[in-house]
A and B are shown apart, each in its own frame.
Chain A
């Protein structure tokens, strides 16, 4: 009887320690998850800002100004345009 009790006590101690460890691990993982989510949100914010930046740099009026101004581009004269029919 005493032997069984001792064995059960041992099992109990092991279980209790296991519980503590798993709780600790779960909290660690959770804080990692939390950090990951925070990073995800920060990246999303950055994505929005980059999108904003890209559409500001890519404004058609700006592109047009650069094309016509510093690059000297213009629409071709219609007399010099040849339309090629796509062969079916």
Chain B
């Protein structure tokens, strides 16, 4: 080797420098390529990931609209409640904690433990819809694996009184019955969502954007007057109990506006606690049940006969001997009379008289009138399950059927249809469209009868509630009343049951300027009094009296106590 002290210039191979340079350049190229790739091609993905670290999408809850009566009184309100749920795998509670949790939820501790540990699922509801205060206490227990979320619960202050009109919502806050179902689109709110930036502590520091604005449900004002509703429900309930009826229904209409002021059914239910509901309780008999109306249809037959010029109210009709046989069928009167004027046929509710008048009329005309007053077609109130009733085509009517239809057999209607049809007499011949929602203005009616005919039938209906008529018990103190009773045999397996009746009364007041129309129906009154004049008319009178006072209708009769007829003085109808 040469001397070590002399530095020697060693020539390294040139390729090593070039290699190092190339390696460095290549490393830079890789970095540049990678950054270009991330910046241009994967930028969306990366931004999303970054945002996920601080941005959150929050649900903005929306409330369901309230339902209020015409005076703004709440009939249905949503209020937030909490639902408590658990993830069984994470559930970790000491015996004491479990005990207090069970106490707060109103459940048995062992049952609760079994529900949590005895399941394969990874999600268990412990209790849905508990008050926020109770939920707060549950949260304070600090049990692992127990969570809660907010929900809305609907409350119905009116309870069973308004149950059939309002209906109810399910646990998911969607309408299931009644107005809640019919106006679901209006009442339901749409939950919205928004994107926010949260800080380390979970506080919102910035609103980034509103993804979807929350839309609260709109409030709905019903035509219902809760005072009249309460009065009607109370009177109906008392009558159903006194007469041991299977069911009952009542509806009150404002004659001028066509608004439904009260609508009640029995049996009813409490919509706030629907644990044990039966189909009978749920049925809205006013809207969805049809029945053979009986004598309440007689005024229509007589009105048509007068309209066609066949009779006048004074025309005498031969009704002796109180029976009329057509083909093999015999029509009876409860109290045979030798002859009655057309007005008395209504007042005394003579089947033979009504049948004879009907037989003198073209069946097409009769069918046409029934059709025009709304029978055989749903009343289109926008209520779920409205019944159309049964009205057969005119060409299939045999004479005997035409005769029985005159007094309301062989045709079926719902109580609301019957009530609406009577607006023809209350409004000088106009049929009024009905509304469950407050309109607050007079409704334009559709002319069905001439005003003169409607007025003369109204006079007959007023005579029917006077002593000597079928329903003196329908009168009220201080106002003139007009109306008609109905007592129909119930149909069973195709024949009429001998001792099962539907008794009804439809009437309106004050006669000088009708304001209110009320229809009452009792299904199978079983306490001995089954005539419409005995069972249904007193309910009408009670509700009408109270409601007219509440409405402040001017009196058109002296304020003197009424003399009620003794036994036997009251005319009775047979149907």
Residues on A lying within 8 angstroms of B by beta carbon are: 27, 30-31, 34, 44-45, 48-49, 51-52, 54-56, 58-61, 64, 75, 77-79, 81, 83
Q: How far is the CA of A31 from the CA of B199 in the complex (A)?
A: 11
Contact A78–B157 (Cβ < 8 Å): no
Question: Do residues B157 and A59 form an inter-chain contact, with CB atoms below 8 A?
Answer: yes
Q: Are B161 and A31 in contact (CB under 8 A)?
A: no
Closest partner residue, chain A, to B207 (CB atom):
A30
Chain A to chain B contacts (Cβ below 8 Å), 18 pairs: A27-B206, A31-B203, A48-B66, A48-B78, A51-B66, A52-B77, A54-B74, A55-B74, A56-B157, A59-B157, A60-B227, A64-B230, A75-B549, A78-B477, A78-B560, A78-B561, A81-B559, A83-B559
A-B CB proximity, top 3 nearest: A55-B157, A60-B230, A78-B477
Known: A48-B78, A52-B155, A55-B157. A79 touches B559 (CB 8 A): yes
Given A27-B205, A54-B74, A78-B560; 20 other pairs, CB 8 A cutoff: A27-B206, A30-B205, A30-B206, A31-B203, A44-B63, A45-B79, A48-B63, A51-B74, A51-B77, A52-B79, A55-B73, A56-B157, A59-B158, A60-B226, A60-B227, A61-B234, A64-B234, A78-B477, A78-B559, A79-B561
Cβ of B478 under 8 Å from chain A: yes
The 0/1 profile, CB within 8 Å of A marked 1, for residues 522-563 of chain B is: 000000000000000000000000000100000100011100
B interface, over-half SS: mixed
| List of B residues within 8 angstroms of A34 by Cβ | 204
CB pair A52 B157 closer than 8 Å: yes
B77 touching A48 by the CB < 8 A rule? yes
Which residues on A sit within 8 Å (CB–CB) of B231?
Answer: 60
Which residue of chain A has its CB nearest to the CB of B157?
A: A55
Report chain B residues within 8 Å CB of A55: 73-74, 157-158
Q: B residues 137-162 with Cβ under 8 Å of A?
A: 155, 157-159, 161
Assembled-state Cα–Cα distance A59/B160 (Å): 12
Interface residues of B in 63-83 (CB under 8 A from A): 63, 66, 73-74, 77-80
Shortest distance in angstroms between A45's beta carbon and chain B's nearest beta carbon? 6
Taking a contact as CB atoms closer than 8 A, the residue among A44, A64, A79 that contacts B560 in the complex is A79
* Interface residue count on the B side (C-beta < 8 Å): 30
Query: Which A residues lie within 8 Å of B560 (CB)?
Result: 78-79
Do most interface residues of chain A lie in helix, strand or loop, or is the interface mixed?
A: helix
On chain A, the residues within 8 Å of B561 by CB distance are 77-79
Q: Of all chain B residues, which has the CB nearest A31?
A: B203
B413 to chain A, nearest CB (A): 30
The smallest C-beta distance from A57 to any residue of chain B, in angstroms, reads 9
Residues of B within 8 A of A64 (CB): 230, 234
A30, B226: Cβ atoms under 8 Å? Answer: no
Q: In whole angstroms, what is the CA distance A78 to B66 when docked?
A: 40
Contact with A along B156-184 (1 / 0, CB 8 A): 01110100000000000000000000000
Are A52 and B74 interface neighbours, CB within 8 A?
yes
**Proximity string of chain B (217-249) to chain A, C-beta cutoff 8 Å, 1 when within and 0 when not:** 000000000110011001000000000000000
Q: Which residues of A contact B79 (CB under 8 A)?
A: 45, 48-49, 52
Which of A30, A54, A61 meets B161, CB within 8 Å? Answer: A61
Interface positions, chain B 271-311, Cβ under 8 Å from A, are none
A61 contacts across to B, CB distance below 8 A = 161, 230, 234
**Residue in chain B with minimal CB distance to A76:** B559
State the CA gap A75–B549 with chains docked (Å).
10
By a CB distance below 8 angstroms, the chain B residues around A59 are 157-159, 230
Contacts A48-B79, A49-B79, A52-B77; A83 near B157 (Cβ below 8 A):
no
- Given A31-B203, A48-B77, does the pair A83, B555 have CB atoms closer than 8 Å? yes
A5 to B555, CA, bound (A): 96
Alpha-carbon distance between A49 and B206 when the two chains are bound, in angstroms? 31
The CA of A54 and the CA of B75, in the complex, are separated in Å by 12
Q: Give A81 to B555 CA distance when docked, in angstroms.
A: 12
Judge whether A31 and B226 touch: CB under 8 Å: no
**Bound state CA distance, A77 and B234, in angstroms?**
21
CB neighbours of A83 from chain B (8 A): 555, 559
Residues of B close to A48: CB separation below 8 A: 63, 66, 77-79
Chain A minimum-CB-distance residue to B545: A75
Q: Which residue of A lies closest to B561 (CB)?
A: A78
CA distance A56 to B158 in the complex (A): 8
